[in-house]
Amino acid sequence: MLAGQGFSVLELIAAGDHLVRVYRQGYGRRDVGKPPLATLEELRAAVALGRWSRAPSLVQALPLIREDSWSPQESFIRIGLVRSGLPEPELNIDVYCDGMFLGCVDLAYPEYRVGVEYYGDAHAERFAEDVERISALRAAGWEMIEVTRALRGRPWVVAERVRRVLEERGWRGEI
């Protein structure tokens, strides 16, 4: 139905990510075990029916839907990185150092200790906690790229920052 309303492929991916989000175990996570609104298999079956207007958009979006995205902005950033030729980041991973929980990173390249964090409106209320979390991650050797609403609208800038840091840390363009 969303495809018929004129949603872009990117918006369909974000909507799909929301529908299939898995509420998995992790440090301080809420709603652990809550069932997703739909499964990837259910989305595939619905798209396979082929009765939808703009079905090609759904077919394009489906392979890019992920179960671990927690917000549309994370989905938009992830797709921007992938479309820029970067490897797909892992989503919402818990980072520990010496057994101590440092934080959950929105988008991450753990092999290179590179993380990308999106700061939406909700982060204004917990600014001090975010500063401390990012500081702890940096102290553990992580390079963090911070993305605000102003930057989110320029995915090429985010991708270039991530590319530069990945290359500095040994990535050689392999996907």
For 46, the domain range is 1-67
> Does residue 41 sit in the same domain as residue 122?
no
Residue that finishes a domain, picked among 27, 51, 67? 67
Determine the 3-state secondary structure of 34 from DSSP: coil
> Does residue 92 sit in the same domain as residue 10?
no
> Does residue 53 sit in the same domain as residue 77?
no
Nearest to 103 by CA among 92, 94, 116: 94
Is 90 exceeded by the pLDDT of residue 81? yes
Compute the average pLDDT of residues 7-16: 93
CA atoms within 13 Å, Cβ hemisphere of 3: 18
> Does residue 91 sit in the same domain as residue 131?
yes
> Does residue 56 sit in the same domain as residue 92?
no
Map tokens 């479309």 to a residue. 83
In whole angstroms, what separates CA 115 from the centre of its chain? 11
Question: pLDDT tens-digit profile of 112-166?
Answer: 999 999 987 766 677 888 889 899 999 999 999 999 888 878 999 999 999 999 9
Looking at the structure of the chain, the number of domains it has is 2
Compute the average pLDDT of residues 1-27: 88
Q: Tell me what pLDDT residue 46 has.
A: 87
Residue that finishes a domain, picked among 67, 91, 113? 67
Banded model confidence at residue 56, pLDDT cuts 50, 70, 90? confident
Average pLDDT value over all residues in the chain: 90
Q: Tell me what pLDDT residue 156 has.
A: 93
Residue that finishes a domain, picked among 67, 89, 120? 67
Question: Do residues 84 and 156 lie in contact, with contact meaning Cβ atoms separated by under 8 Å?
Answer: yes
> Does residue 27 sit in the same domain as residue 89?
no
